Chain A
C-alpha cells in the first residue's frame, strides 16, 4: 500500500518526537526517518519544524480520537457510550507513552499546541456524538425541546475536559463514572 508523503512525514515526525523529544527533533531527523527529501518536506510544511510539530500533534490527536470512536461506536445507548468512552480514554491517556514523556519533559512546548488544535477535536467529538443523540431522541429518551447540536457541543466540551483532567473523579471506578455521566453530563439531556 502506497502511503502519502504527507502521512509518512507526520508519522516520521511522531517517531522522532518519541525518540528525541520535541525540542531536539530537527527537520534533518525527519528527512532520515521518513525517506522524504528536505525540499519535499518544506513544500508540504512551509513553516518547517514549527509547522511539523503542530501538525503532528493534531495528527496524533485525530488518531487518538479515531481509536476512541472505534472503541465505543457500538455502545447500546448514549449514557453507556459516554461511560465506556471516558474509561477507555482515561486508560489510553495514562498509557500513552509519548504523551506522558512530553508532558513530563516539555509541557511548555507541547501544551500550547494541543490548545490550538483543540477546536478541531471538539468539532470531531460533537459530530461523532450527534447521531447517537438523534437515536436517543427517536427512542423518546431525551428531554422535550432539547437542542441536539447544543447538547452535543456541551457534552463534547466537558468530555474533553474530563479526559485530560478527571479532577475528583476516579475513572477506574465504574460507579463513579456512572454517576458522573448520568448526573453532571446528562442530567439536562436525558429524561
Chain B
C-alpha cells in the first residue's frame, strides 16, 4: 500500500468520476469481497457507463490501485487531523491512535478483507512489504507530531505509532482495544510515549 503525503500526489483524474468509482469499489468490496467484485459491478454501483469507467481506469487492477492510494491518503489525513486538534503531545498521540483504530474497525471493505480474504491484505502489510507500509504510514502521519518533536524524531515516532496500531489490528486476540479511550490512554501513557521522546528523556546508566 502507498501513502502519499497528500492526495495531490495521487494520479489526477476527473475528481467526480474518481470519487464515485472509489466509493463504488469500496461498497462492492464490503458486500462481496475483492475477488468477486467485477468491473461491471463497480460501474453499476457508481451509476457510470462501463465504457466511461473503462476510459478512466482501463480495468479492475488500476481501479483497485487508485482506491488503495486514495484510501491510504484519506486515512492518513484523518489521523493527522485527529492529532492536529489536540494541544499536548500525549493528547495528540492518544487521539491519533484511537482515530486510526476506529477508522480500521469501521472500514467495512477492510473488515470484509480481514475476515474473508486475508490472503489479499496480508502480503501488503507483513514482512518486506510491511517495511514499506510502516515507513510510508509513519511519514504520512508524522506532520501531526512535528509541533512536538524534531523532524527526524517525528518520522520515527510516526512509524512507531503505525506499528502499534498495525500489530493490534493483525493480532486476532486483543487484550487491548485501541478504539477505547481509557485503554489507549493507559497504553500510550505507560509504554508508548516514554519511548518517543528521545534519549534526553532517559536517565543515563
Contacts and interface: CB of A to CB of B under 8 A. Distances in A.
B190 A167 contact: no
A8 interface: no
Nearest to B189: A188
Interface of A: 103, 107-109, 111-112, 115-116, 118-119, 122, 146-147, 150-151, 153-154, 157-158, 160-162, 164-168, 179, 182-189, 191
12 contacts: A111-B123, A112-B118, A112-B119, A153-B175, A157-B171, A158-B163, A164-B126, A165-B127, A167-B134, A179-B199, A189-B191, A191-B203
Contact of A165 (B134, B168, B190, B196): B134
Interface in B167-205: 167-168, 170-173, 175, 187, 190-199, 201-203
Given A150-B191, A183-B202, 4 more contacts: A158-B164, A182-B202, A186-B195, A188-B192
B167 A111 contact: no
B171 A165 contact: no
Contact of B135 (A147, A154, A167, A188): A167
Given A103-B127, A118-B170, A168-B138, A112 B175 contact: no
Contacts of A167: 130-131, 134-135, 138, 159, 163
A14 B108 CA distance: 37
B191 to A, nearest CB: 4
Contacts of A118: 170-172
Contacts of A112: 118-119, 122
B187 A154 contact: yes
Interface of B: 118-120, 122-123, 126-128, 130-131, 133-135, 138, 155-156, 159-160, 163-164, 166-168, 170-173, 175, 187, 190-199, 201-203
Nearest to B133: A165
B122 A111 contact: yes
A161 B167 contact: yes
A146 B138 CA distance: 28
B120 A108 contact: yes
B76 to A, nearest CB: 16
Nearest to A166: B131
A161 B134 CA distance: 11
B180 to A, nearest CB: 15
Nearest to B122: A111
Residue in A111, A166, A185 with the greatest tally of chain B CB atoms within 10 Å: A111
Contacts of B173: 119, 122
A164 B168 CA distance: 15
Contacts of A108: 119-120, 122-123
A122 B171 contact: yes
Contact of B197 (A165, A182, A187): A187
A54 to B, nearest CB: 13
B130 A164 contact: yes
Nearest to A109: B119
A112 B115 CA distance: 10
B191 A188 contact: yes
Residue in B119, B120, B199 with the greatest tally of chain A CB atoms within 10 Å: B119
Nearest to A159: B167
A187 B201 contact: yes
B191 A151 contact: yes
